[in-house]
Structure 1
Amino acid sequence: MGGTSVSAAKDSSGSKANGDSRQLDFILLNGLAGGIAGCAAKTVVAPLERVKILFQTSHSQFVHYSGHWNGLIKAARDIQTSYGISALFKGHSASLIRVFPYASINFLANEQFRSAVITSPEKETPLRRFLCGSMAGAISTFITYPLELIRTRLAFEIAQRNPSSWLDMLRKIYFEGHLYQGITPTMLGILPYAGTSFLTHDQVRDLLRSPTFAPYTLEAPSSTRLTAFAQLSCGAVAGIVAQTVSYPIDILRRRVQVASVVGTQSGILETIQRIYLERGVRGFYVGLTIGYVKMAPMVATSFYVYDRMKRFLGLIE
């Protein structure tokens, strides 16, 4: 009897250890899938992101382009002609250093929140999906925010003989005491953005799996696996909707992030007033066209690569 008890205890302990190991493997692999997805998405749209930041922050050298329908093309050409094609990717290394942990935490946290909050099909409601996405976005944003600030400050730099590296900028921001400069509008913006992004993606995905669209959107013989085009469409719609909802706050946070550089450091209310006095309501939507052009392929790539990486790593069928 004693031997049997000891053996059972060992089996129980071993099963628990194996279970913990499998859970850790799942978390690490899920995080890896999310990180790779985020890096792929950011690389696809890096030049658009550079121009968008210059427009959003009203950079004196490029602000005159922002009011034209082809301002994106003209600004990109100006940067490429004056500073070389590599200038279109300035700040991208810092972006990748930030986006890998951000996307990793974001996707992983959303999965964990979903498993805790949505415990049955009946609880798979739009509100719960929105809340899970919002919480995941808030956590990942707060943890990686200093790297986001470094990327924005690097992208804002234009004419300089000795351009800052991301380590130079990190030291500068650290000694200025501005590691979390602009965190308040950023957190206010990420809640609706992340929540809307995950919610819209999941809602469109469910729609495309419905009997009406299934013959055209599902890979045979699967009843759930979407085709590549359908997956990319889910992400593109999610990016456009989320960008529309959160864009004014995105403008505000960019302006706050570079305030100490341009010498106009002020609070959120003063920054809102300054934006309004400069351009009126339109000032809160400067660069939105670029936002659409950027967000559709970026979010589409992010969700698509995340799903494909999970399949590749054996996390889903």
Structure 2
Amino acid sequence: MERRDSRLKWYFHAIAYGFVPAAIAKTTLAPLERIKLILQTQDISNLPVHERYRGVAHYLSSVPSREGFFGYWRGNCASLLSIFSSTSMKFWIGLRIRNIIIRGSKEKTTFEKMLLEWCAGWITGTLIMTWAYPFDLARTRMAGDFGIRRHRIHASSWSCIKSAFDEHKIKGAYQGYMISVATMGPYLGLAFYLHEEIRQWMENNEQSEYKEIGKYFSAGSLAGLAAETLFYPLDTIKRKLQISKSEGYTEGYDSILSCVKGTLKSQGVRGFYRGVLVNVVKVVPTIGINFAVYDYFQAHQIEFKVRKASS
């Protein structure tokens, strides 16, 4: 019973230490996340061009008078729900899947290790994303609902999810899901592979706990930054599909191909990279914290097993 209680205690600590730092980072950077989503999707909004945000500076200066000060954090509650849902599954599912698939990978070639990382990342990411996806969709739609306060479409995250479900049932709550599944494996696989390679490159046996956490954070930030930037156009497509043909966005796309064609026609290649610089600023601390917490608890998971075996 004592071992089971210790295991349960470790699990809840993992959730707490995973959720709290990520929630703080997300909430702090929520204004940047919101303008990124707006820049990605406002070209298909019903709002006249003169009522849209022209860029980061215009957004930062206009939100308080137009939407109220807390407009910077519109959609953040849905984001926190998504983080909590994914965090509660990540440590329970992610570590187990990775331990099963990556086991014995030291003897494999670099290419084989990358394939294993992709496989583990895709399975873990797909399971987590499937659970938390409606919250992610709500975050996109809430952030994109940037009309004047009295003209807002969605009152809360729950009403946004309900509205999506009422429109097209399950399909409505999972709009844009397929491109997310298709890109999840390559994205997470690349991120985890780069993270592992960078972390090993930074290895130093004589490290304090703070230096070790700093190593985890640096490796995660660099890996996440590279993966996020490379896959950013696909994220733009996903966001547009999430918001397409919803209330306030009657102009939209029926498929990935129509989204690509429509974006190229209206904005050119640049349209896929709207908000990418803002994303770079916010991604470093957020992903760095996520990877640092993941590495820290993975190390403690190993220590827990060693203590358990020795007892």
Q: Report the TM range for the smaller structure's normalisation.
A: 0.7 to 0.9
Q: Is the 8 A contact 2:75 2:143 kept in 1?
A: yes
The root-mean-square deviation of aligned C-alpha atoms, in Å, is: 3.0
Identical aligned residues as a percent: 25
CA spacing shift, 1:313–1:43, aligned 2, 3 Å: farther
**Aligned ranges 1:199-278 → 2 under 5 Å:** 199-209=193-203, 214=204, 219-220=207-208, 226-261=211-246, 262-265=249-252, 266-278=254-266
Distance 1:118 1:126 in 2: 10
* 2:81 aligned residue (79, 88, 97): 97
Q: Is the 8 A contact 1:33 1:310 kept in 2?
A: no
CA spacing shift, 1:93–1:64, aligned 2, 3 Å: closer
Distance 1:156 1:37 in 2: 25
Number of the residue aligned with 1:119: 103
**Aligned ranges 1:1-317 → 2 under 5 Å:** 26-59=10-43, 60=49, 65=54, 71-120=55-104, 122-123=106-107, 125-159=113-147, 160-161=149-150, 163=152, 164-176=155-167, 177=169, 178-209=172-203, 214=204, 219-220=207-208, 226-261=211-246, 262-265=249-252, 266-307=254-295
Tell me by how many angstroms 1:42 deviates: 1.8
CA spacing shift, 1:248–1:201, aligned 2, 3 Å: same
Distance 2:223 2:51 in 1: 29
TM-score normalised by structure 1 residue count: 0.79
Higher radius of gyration, 1 or 2: 1
Distance 1:157 1:142 in 2: 24
CA spacing shift, 1:86–1:185, aligned 2, 3 Å: same
Aligned length: 287
CA spacing shift, 1:304–1:61, aligned 2, 3 Å: farther
Secondary structure at the residue paired with 1:264? coil
Residues 173-182 or 33-42, more deviating:
33-42
AA matched with 2:126: A
Which runs of no fewer than 5 residues in structure 1 stay unpaired?
A: 1-16, 66-70
Q: Is the 8 A contact 1:239 1:298 kept in 2?
A: no
Write out per-residue CA displacement over residues 6-50 of structure 1, whole angstroms, 9 at most, x where no aligned residue. xxxxxxxxxxx7766665555454444433343233223211110
TM-score normalised by structure 2 residue count: 0.80
CA spacing shift, 1:302–1:170, aligned 2, 3 Å: same
Q: Is the 8 A contact 1:252 1:272 kept in 2?
A: yes
Distance 2:274 2:285 in 1: 20
CA spacing shift, 1:123–1:246, aligned 2, 3 Å: farther
Distance 1:239 1:39 in 2: 17
Tell me by how many angstroms 1:58 deviates: 2.5
